[in-house]
Amino acid sequence: MRFKDKVCLITGGTSGIGQAVCLRLGAEGGQVIVLGRDKIDGAETVRLITKAGGKAIFMACDLAKPRVISATVQKVLAKYQRIDVLVCDAAMMTFDPLLSLPLPQWDLLMLVNLRSLAQLTQLCLPHMPKGSAIVAVSSVHAHQTTANVVPYATSKGGLEAFVRGMSQELDRKQTRINAVAPGAVDTPMLWSNPNVKSGAEKIDKASVGTTEELAAAIAFMASSEASFVHGTTLVVDGGRLAQL
């Protein structure tokens, strides 16, 4: 029970990797706050956690809206007075060549994928006790990418730079910050990718990871077992990058 009585705030908690993280931390004793936009999906995540004997609540939060983020964190702190674990998983992708991409789409993606991480870090850090942890979910696209996803790859590269930089501003014995970079994982984001659908991005189904495998890695990075891991990115891709 690595997260017994710890307050765990997870963005993107209504589906995919984020939902799997919620279930894992809930199973390990955490008080899970599921953040997402869809109330029905959020209620389902909470149901799964509580059915298994865990504790969870859902809070609707659109990460493209900074004022909503601020209000949501205030609600969490009013209820629990602290945040022990922050997992930033929510993200969006675009699938247009840069020359065809409306810049407002670039701005929206950066709000969701990168600015929200900075804002949540600012808001949560003053209320994160000794032994707390931040885990930001990156992507192998930060290291090796494909055409037509430049904003996404850029945001994930920026996310990893943010983690490295913030680690220099934090005392790891107080709050650690790290990233986890998934490869191909069996999520709606993967299979809805037009590059995957068209075959432009080749995916070997035998090498696709599960959300549970990613949740296990994220839970480790958020736990006290990783107390000497700080300011780095754990690549969890089944060896994909090593084969390139």
Residue 152 a catalytic site member? yes
DSSP strand pairing (7-10 vs 175-182) = unpaired
Can you read off the two tokens belonging to residue 88? 């930033």
What per-residue confidence (pLDDT) applies to 184? 85
Q: For residues 165-185, b (16+ Cβ closer than 10 Å) or e, as one string?
A: ebbeebeeeebbbbbbbbbbb
Question: What pTM, to 2 d.p., does this model score?
Answer: 0.94
Query: Which residue is catalytic, options 95, 152, 162, 220?
Result: 152
Can you read off the two tokens belonging to residue 211? 């959300």
In the predicted structure, residue 137 carries a pLDDT above the cut 80 = yes
In the predicted structure, residue 244 carries a pLDDT above the cut 70 = no
Q: Using one digit for the tens of pLDDT, what is the confidence trace for 184-200?
A: 887 777 666 776 667 66
What's the mean pLDDT in 11-25?
Answer: 97
Can you read off the two tokens belonging to residue 7? 């307050």
Domains in the chain, ordered, with CATH?
A: 7-237 (3.40.50.720)
Q: For residues 121-133, b (16+ Cβ closer than 10 Å) or e, as one string?
A: bebbbebbeeebb
What per-residue confidence (pLDDT) applies to 67? 98
- Answer yes or no: are the C-beta atoms of 11 and 3 closer than 8 Å: no
